[in-house]
Amino acid sequence: MSRIEQSYRTARRVTTVGIAVSSLLAVANVVVGVIAHSTAVLAAGLEFAGDVLAAAVVLVGMRVAARGPDANHPYGHGRVETLSAFVVGIILTAGGVLIAYRSLLAVGAPHPPPGLAAIVVLTTAIVLRSVMSAVKFRVGRRIRSAALIADGWNDTVDILSAFGALTAVALATYDPDRFLAADHYGGFVVGLVVILTGIRVGRDASLELMDTMPASDLIDEVRQAAGAVPGVLGVEKLFARKTGLQYHVDLHIEVDPAMTVAASHAIAAHVRTTIQRNCAWVADVLVHVEPASSSVGR
């Protein structure tokens, strides 16, 4: 099994656990929210239900992205992983709008105070979400998975929104006469946080879909690896695009213009293997050979 296949397998395992946790939290919060007549808890439950859908999209995207190159997809299927992250952003934004709207509609509606059960279920959600977000961020950044990082942001917003809901529920339970409406406004805050996070996730995924260059330190890493190969007199152009968990690199190297085609081809092949060996984040390299100007290397 290749390193990329192992990375995708790890990401799918983390995502599957996340789906199970989200399902449990969704059921618990929706049930308690309905029983306790708490708009904030119900909003959190609906958000967790949306998380199940978002994580399912991520899981499907990772399975497709793990497929290797074929005749119609010479760069592989990795872009599906980035596309799934973009879909997660859309789901979050749409879900946030719905939650905020429904919460405002409930403002002023009389109902009993939420009670202790609502506080317990929200506290449990905060603890579980904290663990899952930490795991997803750590694994996602290690394997450079946009979809898993997007899912980690999804968990982070759950923590923030659950804190807002918990504060609102605590106030409504403590003094229903003065703070009962806080429960509804807490649900509205949950919706706003979800919307902002959805926009951020969608923006990050869009940048990758538009072939945004990687960070300058990664570009310098490739440039140094190529420049260290004997016979390379300079690196003129260097471009990189992300396809899934790795990048495809295009670069132009300069060699002695008096060199034979066979010799320059051997140097290009050496550059390709050197970059792939030294830069684990690079999937493949396309090397174009150009004659160096007379001033280079003198």
pLDDT tens-digit readout, 247-281: 889 999 999 999 999 999 999 999 999 998 888 88
Q: 285 with 145, same domain?
A: no
73-102: average pLDDT = 81
Domain that holds residue 176: 3-209
**Burial class (CB within 10 angstroms; exposed 0-12, middle 13-18, buried 19+) of 124:** middle
Q: 32 with 168, same domain?
A: yes
Out of 209, 238, 272, a domain closes at 209
Out of 160, 189, 209, a domain closes at 209
Q: Tell me what pLDDT residue 1 has.
A: 54
CA 81 to chain centre: 9
Residue 234 contacts residue 253 (beta carbons within 8 Å): yes
Q: Tell me what pLDDT residue 42 has.
A: 81
pTM, whole model, 2 decimals?
A: 0.64
Q: Tell me what pLDDT residue 296 has.
A: 46
15-40: average pLDDT = 86
- Count of C-beta atoms within a 10 Å radius of residue 258: 7
Reduced to 3 states (helix: H, G, I; strand: E, B; else coil), residue 243 is strand
Q: 51 with 152, same domain?
A: yes
Q: Domain with 159 in it: what CATH number?
A: 1.20.1510.10
What letter does residue 293 receive in the DSSP assignment?
A: P
191-213: average pLDDT = 82
64-73: average pLDDT = 77
- Buried b / exposed e across 62-78, counting CB within 10 Å, b at 16+? beebbeeeeeeeeebbb
Number of domains the chain is built from? 2
Which tokens go with 74?
């010479």
Calpha distance 196→134 (Å, rounded): 20
- Residue 298 inside a domain? The answer is no
Residue 5 confidence (pLDDT) above 50? yes
Q: 199 with 66, same domain?
A: yes
- Residue 275's Cβ-side half-sphere holds a number of Cα atoms within 13 Å equal to 31
Q: 193 with 235, same domain?
A: no
pLDDT of 286-298, one tens digit each? 999 999 875 444 3
- Count of C-beta atoms within a 10 Å radius of residue 288: 11
- Residue 273 inside a domain? The answer is yes
15-27: average pLDDT = 88
pLDDT of 147-166, one tens digit each? 788 778 878 877 877 887 78
Q: 127 with 54, same domain?
A: yes
Q: Domain with 255 in it: what CATH number?
A: 3.30.70.1350
Nearest to 153 by CA among 217, 104, 88, 98: 88
Calpha distance 195→99 (Å, rounded): 9
- Residue 146 inside a domain? The answer is yes
Q: 93 with 236, same domain?
A: no
- Residue 201 inside a domain? The answer is yes
Kindly give, in sequence order, each residue whose CB lies less than 8 Å from that of residue 93, ignoring residues fewer than 6 positions away.
194, 195, 198, 199, 202
Calpha distance 52→34 (Å, rounded): 20
* Helices and strands, counts by H and E, the chain: 9, 3
Q: Tell me what pLDDT residue 110 has.
A: 61
- Residue 14 inside a domain? The answer is yes
pLDDT of 206-226, one tens digit each? 888 888 888 888 899 999 999
Residue 292 contacts residue 257 (beta carbons within 8 Å): yes
Q: 171 with 256, same domain?
A: no
Q: 101 with 30, same domain?
A: yes
Q: Tell me what pLDDT residue 119 has.
A: 85
Angle at 206 (CA atoms; ends 200, 208), nearest 5 degrees: 115
Q: 135 with 233, same domain?
A: no
What average pLDDT does the chain have? 82
